[in-house]
A and B are shown apart, each in its own frame.
Chain A
Amino acid sequence: MLSALTITEAHEKLRKKEISTEELVRACIDRIEAVDGILNAVVHRNFERAVEEAKMVDATGEFSSPLTGIPYLTKDVFCEEGVPTTACSNILRGKTYIPPFDSTTTKRLKTCGAISLGKVNTDEFTMGCSTETSCHGVTRNPWDTTRVAGGSSGGSAVAVSSNECLFALGTDTGGSIRQPAGFCGCTGLRPTYGRTSRYGVMSMASSLDTIGPLCKTVEDIAIVMEAISGKDPLDATTGNVPVPMYRQTLKSAMKGLRIGLPKEYFIDGMSDDVERAVREAANVFASLGAIVSEISLPMTKYGVATYYVLVPCEVSSNMARYDGIRYGHTVENPESLLDYYERVRSDGFGPEVKRRIMIGTFALSAGYYDAYYRQAQKVRILIARDFEEAFQKVDAIISPVSPTPAFTIGAHEGDPVAMYLEDIFMCPQPMAGIPALSLPCGFSKSGLPIGLQIMGPQWEDGRVLKIGHAFEQATEWHERKVAI
Chain B
Amino acid sequence: MSFPSTTEIYHVAKLARLTLTDAEVERLAPELASIIGVIDLLKEVDTKNVILTAQNTGLTNVLREDTLRSPSPSPDALLSCSPLPLVQHQIQTPSAHG
Does more than half of chain B's interface fall in helix, strand or loop, or is it mixed? loop
Residues of B contacting A304 in the complex (Cβ-Cβ under 8 angstroms): 38
Q: How distant is B98 from chain A, measured CB to nearest CB, in Å?
A: 4
Give a binary string over A282-318; 1 marks a CB under 8 Å from any B CB, 0 the rest: 0000000000000000000110111011000000100
- In the complex, the chain A residue whose C-beta lies closest to that of B55 is A207
Residue of A365, A371, A417, A431 touching B35 (CB-CB under 8 A): A417
**Chain A positions within 8 Å of B37 at CB level:** 417
Chain A residue at minimal CB-CB distance from B52: A377
With A381-B50, A417-B35, A417-B38 as known contacts, state yes or no: A371 contacts B43, CB within 8 Å: yes
CA distance A14 to B62 in the complex (A): 42
Instruction: Give B79's nearest chain A residue, CB to CB.
Output: A326
Residue of A nearest to B53 (CB): A381
Which of chain B's residues have a CB closer than 8 A to the CB of A110? none
Q: How far is the CA of A345 from the CA of B73 in the complex (A)?
A: 26
How many A-B residue pairs have C-beta atoms within 8 angstroms? Tell me: 177
In the complex, chain A residues whose CB is within 8 Å of the CB of B20:
346, 354
Contact partners of A324 in chain B: CB under 8 A: 83-84
Is A279 positioned at the interface, with any CB of B under 8 Å from its CB? no
Proximity string of chain B (15-33) to chain A, C-beta cutoff 8 Å, 1 when within and 0 when not: 1111110001001100110
Which of B18, B27, B36, B78 contacts A342, CB < 8 Å? B18
Q: How far is the CB of A304 from chain B (nearest CB, A)?
A: 7
Q: How far is the CA of A345 from the CA of B3 in the complex (A)?
A: 24
Question: Is B68 interfacial (CB-CB < 8 Å)?
Answer: no
Interface string of B40-80 (1 = CB under 8 A from A): 11110101001111111101001010000000111001101
Q: Does B6 contact A (CB under 8 A)?
A: no
Task: Kindly list chain A residues whose C-beta atoms are within 8 Å of the C-beta of B8.
Answer: 362
5 interchain pairs, CB-CB under 8 A: A316-B16, A334-B94, A375-B45, A377-B52, A380-B56
Q: A residues touching B (Cβ–Cβ < 8 Å)?
A: 81, 94-95, 97-101, 193-194, 207, 233, 236-237, 239, 301-302, 304-306, 308-309, 316, 320, 323-330, 334-343, 345-346, 349, 351, 354-355, 357-359, 361-363, 365, 371-372, 374-382, 384, 414-417, 420, 431-433, 458
